[in-house]
Amino acid sequence: MASTHQVVLASDMTFENIMHKRTAQTEAGFSAMLKKDKEAQQLAVDEYFQHWDNKEAKDETEETRASRTKDYAALTRQYYNLATDFYEYGWCQSFHFCRFGAREAFAAAIARHEHYLAHMIGIRPKMRVLDVGCGVGGPAREIAKFTGAYVTGITINEYQVQRATRYAEQDGLAGNCRFVVGDFMKLPFEEESFDAVYAIEATVHAPRLEGVYSEIFKVLKPGGVFGVYEWVMTDRYDHDNLEHRKCRLDIEQGDGIANMVKAEVAIEAMKAAGFELLEVEDLAERFVNGEDLAPWYWPLDGSGWRYANNMWDVMGTFRMTRWGRWLAHNFMATLETLRLAPPGTKKTGDSLSKAAEALVLGGKERLFTPMFLMVGRKPLAAKGEEKLI
């Protein structure tokens, strides 16, 4: 009989089923972490961390970045094999940050951030909408409920598709939401088949933003609108500053990113893909300008509890803070030592925690933003053709 490793290598599409067993249908978060196939998880850990182990910021070269970028698909897929349950346990089913208003609970702020993007791209009832990098489908379900649209989500990770499908069925949204496995650098849809497209903190996993934006352009109908919350380094980021580079690299390692770029590169990528830019704004600056009463990173920052609006948020966000992460990850380390948790669980948790520290630092120093909003329209006619009025 073939070993697990041989089966995994022989058929990529079965890897998630081997590693996660039946947890996509029966478990979530902390409980699901404990029930992984140990051999498959070790393979995922080895495949993912080969790009990061013993590679510090001072040693980074164009070659090491190029190697990660070339392997973006496997890197991203294995990252979410390792991180998805941590995200569901430590954050929620919408894997993104958000803005916070006065007396606004965490869950409400997450939903409002999704509603705002849906509003900005004009999603209406019955529209066919694509969610690029859908995770376990939290935003897709919320936007489908909010707008009445039909939302298709795509992610490179089969486990996430299984979880997203299960949650949509549980919420009575199976008729409005569907989820497929695929690489957003090669979207498996017919050209001009969607009325609107959005991506929430997902296209940062692309090896080149112009590549994924061009794929989105192809599947969008003429006149259709694409909106994205992009992860970028800001104009304050200086690649020659070692502390800045370390901040970026820690975010990349802990969040499965091969090649994060500056905001100016993202803008040019949208234009190069063919979009007419309608909106460009770093929404994180609204806190700096006094429009928002709390920064996007406060749930990760132990000193940020003063922004919590109720006891549920205080209790619920404790696990996201430095001390909450420390307690959870060391508890998991004990279980791993006792062979009750699969190998690499603590290593994954430590990497996520390292990224959280870098995210907070990047946010405070305004080197990084997770909510660089861009909204672009696909022209009604190709260049050189008469545009419809």
Digit-coded pLDDT (tens) for 49-64? 998 887 787 878 888 8
Q: What percent of the chain has pLDDT over 70?
A: 89
pLDDT tens for each residue of 104-159: 888 999 999 999 999 999 999 999 999 999 999 999 999 999 999 999 999 999 99
Q: Which domains does the chain have, with CATH numbers?
A: 109-238+259-282+370-377 (3.40.50.150)
pLDDT tens for each residue of 73-85: 999 999 999 999 9
Mean pLDDT of 367-387: 82
State the chain's mean pLDDT as an integer: 89
Q: What percent of the chain has pLDDT over 90?
A: 69
How far apart, in Å, do the first and last CA atoms of the chain sit?
Answer: 65
User: pLDDT-based confidence at 93, cuts 50/70/90?
Assistant: very high
Both structure tokens of 307? 């922004």
| Residue type present at position 272 | A
| Residue type present at position 243 | E
Both structure tokens of 122? 């004009």
The answer on pLDDT for 26 being more than 90 is no
194: which strand partners?
220
Most confident of 25-29, 230-234, 339-343: 230-234
> What is the Cα gyration radius of the chain?
20
What pLDDT is attached to residue 311?
61
Q: In sequence order, which residues have a C-beta less than 8 Å from that of residue 202 and are 6 or more positions away?
A: 132, 133, 134, 135, 184
What pTM value is reported for the model? 0.91
Mean pLDDT of 324-332: 74
